[in-house]
């Protein structure tokens, strides 16, 4: 008998591809959505659309070694985060999620227990928002884990919000503090580097104390599905996007789609004290984390100034950070020292232009 | 000046992730679908569902080294085949395709021109059926190419066909000959092995003459979208699936979902002469190619005997190959010599159970 008989290691090959699909079906049935008429187990899933609504579809691929590092990301964290990233895109359209489709490329060194953790965490995170995993595909993978999620939701046509509707005079708002996810990543990388520098010593102990809020934000981000619906219920939102690439890049997407420029006030950008502390410890600037860090999964949106007071009753964390203006697409950051930083190109990490610091 | 100034090599990094997305948008606009209201370029796409129809969703992941071998698959062939595999799943639900979502994981050794070929072939293959590429995601990939496609279509509820509706007494039908795709794969593998055995000599020339019909079937399969619609227009189809895993596995899916068993007559299984020739040359059995080869992308369906004559007016290639019967889920192949082969487990290639011979 093993020391702890509750803990098992099962190779995926012991149940095969069809066994894995059965397992996913048995896990996914924990939640249901009345619009999903047929889910896992046929050539395709069947969804009944609501009358008068539009179908909203987003898809997102995450590849080990590019988007995540399993040396400091548990499969449960990864499952939660992959789900949250897609929910965040649906939230950015003011839509409600209905059904998710999961494709997994699985290397032979991944155990059944790891995949159960991953799939279980996704199931729960989607389920929290009334959304069910309705299909997917599995494959072997020669190297590393690949996760692709397609998420389908719905929105009333009058509540759709695209990137292209920002108007001169709009107030630019954000639903929470920025840069904290990147600060969390910094801590994970710092402790991983310390571990590597000790020669991966068995005595090594990572020091995460006091950094919980940053680590939580990076590993377990919260998609603003409910909040975005509350905002579009109360007012006409002109443009909206979620902050996945970083404030400057995502605001630049809005500017390019809308044919406007934007000015953001440094002093108005919400930055948490823990983000400042981590940036200080890393000899970096917390402002850079907020501007180009990415993965905050807050919602960035623009509204008429007259609508701004209506936000007070929705959520105390929503902040106005700047203005939309007439001009060539670009983002201007007005610094507290009176200087300005101008961006007319995407400054953040791009997969094909430079290696990420992960 | 280079010898042929029309041929270029451009690294993906020269245009970056957002440049790639712009390129995809510019390629995809070649086709349109009036239901797709917003496509590439926002957080999500927006589709207007048809009144009274159901939304049908399928997803499929293909990974280099598992599903395809770029040493004998051109990017155009790969793009066509990935699109056809998804269209085939939509056809198996008797649905019409509307919008495709493409995720690509791209290794740095892949050029922009290769991705243009891949994406262009997908665009055209979907476009042929009135379907538009409406979104996607791109990422770097540490090793090899990853292609995930999610395809969304629609079907009238009264024409939906699932795997689970087969009834005792049903005639089992198939839309074309079987095993030819696997025969084509055999030729590609044989010539690749010869090339490797010559030490990859510069003088080597692959011998594909006379094998065109098999190679075409493997590299450029045709999804039976139009045919499947014609069948469900004329009669009530009880169960339907596309043949991707091989006749026995896919028929077993129908049997397990429907709680029935099936008998197939060896003498009725349509096998093309080129399939028999290639099997003979390989010292293998053409019947095995038809039963477990897979990737034929024909449609397998069951109907009442009284409806069978209606098929004559639809397509001369549709064949009756056996019967659904009462009994525990299983497939019985009645051989011409009077013996029988019984299958109650999936015999074909499964990604996690044994390595593929590719």
> Over the stretch B313-331, which tens digit does the pLDDT of each residue have?
998 899 999 999 999 999 9
Look up tokens 């209201």; give the residue.
B37
Per the prediction, chain B carries an average pLDDT of: 91
pLDDT at position A2? 52
Assigned token pair, B349: 């290639």
pLDDT of residue B356: 37
Please tell me which of A15-24, A204-213, B312-321 the model is most confident about, judged by mean pLDDT: B312-321
For residue range A53-84, list pLDDT tens digits in order: 999 999 999 999 888 998 889 999 999 999 99
- CB within 8 Å of A154: residues ≥ 6 apart: A49, A50, A53, A54, A55, A56, A95, A96, A98
Give the mean pLDDT of chain A.
91
Strand pairing report for B96-106 and B132-140: parallel
Return the pLDDT at A3: 57
Q: Does B115 touch chain A (CB under 8 A)?
A: no
When scoring B99, B135, B150, B257 by the number of chain A Cβ atoms within 10 A, the one with the most, hence best to mutate, is B150
Inter-chain residue contact B257 with A41, CB threshold 8 Å: yes
Q: Which two tokens stand for residue A311?
A: 């936000």
Query: Would you place residue B357 in the very low, low, confident or very high pLDDT band (cuts 50, 70, 90)?
Result: very low
Domain ranges for chain A, please list them: 12-159, 163-343
Is the pLDDT reported for residue A196 higher than 90?
Answer: no
Of all residues in chain B, the one with the smallest CA distance to A356 is: B140
Joined together, the tokens standing for residue B166 give: 């087969």
Tell whether domain A163-343 is in CATH 3.90.650.10: yes
Helix ranges restricted to H, chain B: 16-28, 75-91, 112-127, 180-197, 212-219, 225-234, 247-258, 273-281, 286-292
Of A41, A43, A164, the CB nearest to B58: A43
The strand pairing partners of B45, in sequence order, are A57
DSSP assigned state of A53 = P
Name the residue with tokens 């991983």: A192
Q: What is the per-residue pLDDT across B189-212, written as a single tens digit (0 to 9) for each?
A: 998 888 888 887 777 777 788 899
Whole-model pTM: value is 0.92
Residue A41: what pLDDT? 76
Q: How far apart are CA A169 and CA A304, in angstroms?
A: 7
3-state secondary structure of B137: strand
In the predicted structure, residue B11 carries a pLDDT above the cut 90: no
Q: Which two tokens stand for residue A162?
A: 């695209």
> Span B219-244, mean pLDDT?
96
**Dist. CA A144–CA A100, nearest whole Å:** 22
The two most distant CA atoms of chain B are separated, in Å, by 72
What average pLDDT score do residues A132-139 get? 94
Q: Answer whether residue B358 shows pLDDT above 80.
A: no
A215: CB partners within 8 A, 6+ apart: A184, A187, A188, A208
Q: Which CATH number fits domain B12-159: 3.30.1330.10, 2.30.30.100, 3.40.50.970, 3.40.50.1000?
A: 3.30.1330.10
Interstrand relation of A45-47 and B54-63 (parallel, antiparallel or unpaired): antiparallel
Are B135 and B45 in contact by the 8 Å Cβ rule? The answer is: yes
> What is residue A44's predicted lDDT score, i.e. its pLDDT?
85
Given a cut of 80, whether residue A337 has pLDDT beyond it is yes
Q: Is the pLDDT of residue B243 over 50?
A: yes
Whether B12-159 and B163-343 share one fold: the answer is no
pLDDT at A184: 95
Window 277-306 of B, Cβ < 8 Å to A: none
Across the beta sheet with B299-303, the strand order is B239-242, B299-303, B171-174, B319-325, B261-265, B330-334, B340-343
Q: Which residues have CB under 8 Å from B107's CB, separation 6+?
A: B140, B141, B142, B143, B144, B145
At A354 the pLDDT is: 38
- pLDDT computed for residue B19 by the predictor: 85
Answer whether residue A351 shows pLDDT above 60: no
Give the span between the Cα atoms of A27 and A9, in whole angstroms.
19
pLDDT of residue B351: 47
Which is nearest to B299 in space by CA: B175, B153, B177, B179?
B175
Q: Model confidence at B2, in pLDDT bands (50, 70, 90)?
A: low
Q: Between residues B149 and A18, which one has the greater pLDDT?
A: B149
Does B101 sit within 8 Å of A61, measured CB to CB? no
CA pair distance A43, A25, nearest whole angstrom: 14
Q: Which residue, among A148, A246, A255, would best test binding to B if mutated, counting the most B CBs under 10 Å from its CB?
A: A148
- For B274, residues 6+ apart whose C-beta sits below 8 A from its C-beta are B180, B183, B210, B211, B213, B214
> With contact defined as beta carbons under 8 Å apart, do B133 and B122 qualify?
yes
Closest CA to B22 of A253, A18, A129: A253
Residue B279 has pLDDT above 50, yes or no: yes
């Amino acid at each position: 008998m093993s020391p702890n008989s509750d803990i098992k290691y099962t190779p995926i090959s012991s149940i095969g591809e069809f066994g894995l699909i059965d397992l996913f079906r048995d896990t996914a049935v924990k939640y249901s959505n009345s619009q999903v008429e047929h889910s896992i187990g046929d050539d395709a899933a069947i969804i009944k659309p609501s009358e008068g609504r539009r179908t909203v579809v987003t898809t997102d691929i995450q590849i080990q070694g590019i988007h995540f590092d399993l040396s400091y990301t548990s499969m449960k964290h990864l499952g939660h985060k992959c789900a949250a990233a897609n929910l965040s895109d649906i939230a950015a359209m003011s839509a409600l999620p209905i059904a998710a489709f999961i494709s997994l490329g699985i290397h032979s060194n991944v155990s059944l227990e790891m995949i159960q953790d991953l799939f279980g965490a996704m199931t729960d995170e989607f389920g929290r928002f009334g959304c069910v995993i309705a299909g997917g595909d599995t494959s072997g993978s020669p190297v590393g884990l690949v996760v692709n999620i397609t998420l389908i939701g719905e929105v009333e046509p009058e509540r759709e919000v695209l990137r292209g509707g920002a108007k001169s005079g709009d107030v630019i708002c954000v639903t929470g503090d920025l840069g904290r996810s990147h600060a969390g990543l910094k801590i994970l990388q710092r402790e991983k580097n310390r571990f590597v520098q000790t020669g991966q010593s068995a005595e090594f102990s990572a020091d995460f104390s006091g950094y919980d809020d940053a680590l939580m934000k990076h590993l377990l981000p919260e998609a603003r599905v409910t909040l975005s619906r509350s905002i579009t219920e109360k007012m006409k939102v002109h443009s909206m996007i979620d902050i996945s690439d970083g404030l400057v890049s995502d605001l630049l997407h809005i500017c390019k789609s809308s044919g406007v420029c934007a000015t953001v006030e440094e002093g108005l950008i919400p930055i948490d004290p823990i983000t400042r502390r981590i940036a200080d410890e890393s000899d970096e600037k917390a402002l850079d984390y907020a501007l180009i860090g990415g993965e905050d999964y807050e919602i960035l949106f623009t509204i008429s100034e007259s609508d701004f007071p209506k936000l007070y009753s929705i959520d105390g964390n929503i902040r106005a950070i700047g203005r939309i203006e007439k001009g060539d697409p670009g983002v201007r950051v007005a610094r507290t020292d009176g200087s300005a930083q101008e961006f007319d190109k995407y400054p953040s990490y791009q997969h094909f232009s430079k290696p990420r610091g992960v």
